Amino acid sequence: MNQIISNTQQQQNMSLDNTPPSGRSRPEELVPSRYAVQVGEIEVLVISDGVLPLPTQMLGHNADPAARAAWLKDMFLPQDAFDWALNVVVVRSGDQTILIDAGLGLDPNLNLPRAGQLIKRLEAASIDLASVTDVVLTHMHMDHVGGLLVEGVKEQLRPDLRIHVAAAEVKFWESPDFSHVSMPPGFPDALRATAKRFTKEYQSQLRLFDEEYEVAPGVVVSRTGGHTPGHSVVRVASGGDRLMFAGDAVFAVGFEHPDWHNGFEHDPEEAARVRVRLLRELAETGGQLVATHLPFPSVGRVAVDGDDFRWVAAFWDY
Ligand SMILES: [Zn+2]
């Protein structure tokens, strides 16, 4: 499935492949940071931007602390804080190369040295920033737009780059409501400042949609709301295969406890409804799911039994 890539494409550095590019030497990382999935005719590459340690209370700030502690214990996770994955996706459909979200970036004030790896890992995957024709943003939290604000990145991007984002998202960040979130201190200010800076930097490249937009053949972004008012998911469909990039609609705890409110959700009740709707859709279609904060490469499927959902990780394809 991952090998449907021609030699010609490889020579042009065009393939979204799991094999390292030949003829280049670079220090090897000890962790895999990209994983390719073929969806019909469309190539999808999950790239890790690294990890972000966050307090566990954020997993479900409306949950009984004992229930939260029990879930962490069952998952063999530490009780105080654990690392959230940061997954970014590159999609190639026809002659378009689409970057879905952009990772956290490298803000030295945040002291998050294990995040913000995207640019280096795109390079390791032989994906030239100048080859990106479109960016799709699931939403404008800094862990999804920050990579575009890393020094020197904008200069490498094409002047005609299109950045697709829901109109409701851009509007939200003009005067964002943080009254329902539960974030560590400092985060709201950092999120506000990053979204503002992003809008200013990329204003002329923003292409707003209301509810849905077909970015490329078989690649459709749809607004869900919930997490943020303009939060959107991307559905990729080709030749009977389906994959959904769900952004921040689904977290690791969300299969067993879809009603737990994540600390980053601006409208947690709506976010929970969105989560259940998407999980039901995925269970029904059998399509693959990729989400920002599920453990890398976060490729899997959703099983359902009544109201109980279960994550079924994909077997890696070598
Ligand atoms: Zn996020």
What is the CATH number for 190?
3.60.15.10
How many angstroms separate the alpha carbon of residue 232 from the centre of ligand 1? 12
Distance 247 CA to ligand 1 centre (A): 7
State pLDDT tens for residues 251-274. 999 999 999 999 999 999 999 999
Q: What is the pLDDT of residue 145?
A: 98
Residue 270: inside a domain, yes or no? yes
Q: Are 38 and 4 in contact (CB under 8 A)?
A: yes
CA–centroid distance, 275 to ligand 1, in Å, is 14
Is residue 217 in a domain? yes
Tell me, in angstroms, the distance from the centre of ligand 1 to residue 10's CA. 32
Residue 2 covered by a domain: no
**What is the CA(227)–ligand 1 centre distance, in A?**
9
CA–centroid distance, residue 292 to ligand 1 (Å): 6
CA of 140 to the centre of ligand 1 (A): 9
Is residue 41 pLDDT above 90, yes or no?
Answer: yes
Q: Measured in angstroms, how far is the CA atom of residue 95 from the centroid of ligand 1?
A: 28
Tell how far the Cα of 94 is from the centroid of ligand 1, in angstroms.
28
Of 209, 190, 204, 99, the residue nearest 160 (C-alpha): 204
pLDDT computed for residue 26 by the predictor: 54
Ligand 1 centroid–CA 272 distance in Å is 15
Six-digit token string for 64: 């009984």
**Mean pLDDT calculated for residue range 6-25:** 47
Residue 283 lies in a domain: yes
- Across the range 272-278, mean pLDDT stands at 98
Give pLDDT, residue 111. 76
For residue 31, being part of any structural domain is answered with yes
Q: Which domain holds residue 67?
A: 7-313
Give the residue among 316, 241, 292, 310 at the shortest CA–CA distance from 47: 292
Q: What is the mean pLDDT of the chain?
A: 91
Q: What is the pLDDT of residue 122?
A: 95
Helix (H, G, I), strand (E, B) or coil at 159: coil
Give the 3-state secondary structure of 174-210.
Answer: CCCCCCCCCCCCCHHHHHHHHHHHHHHHHHHHEEEEC
Better-predicted residue by pLDDT, 184 or 202: 202
Residue 229 pLDDT > 50: yes
The alpha carbon of 90 and the centre of ligand 1 are apart by a number of angstroms equal to 17
Q: Which pLDDT score is estimated for 18?
A: 59
pLDDT, one tens digit per residue, over 197-208 is: 999 999 999 999
Task: Kindly state whether residue 48 falls inside one of the protein's structural domains.
Answer: yes
Answer yes or no: is 79 within a domain: yes
Distance from residue 132's CA to the centre of ligand 1 (Å): 22
Q: Is 235 within a domain? A: yes
Token code pair at residue 86: 């940061």
Q: How many domains does the chain divide into?
A: 1
94 Cβ contact partners less than 8 Å away, ≥ 6 residues apart: 216, 217
pLDDT (0 to 100) of residue 28: 66
**Ligand 1 centre from 233 Cα, in Å?**
12
Residue 167 in 3-state DSSP?
helix
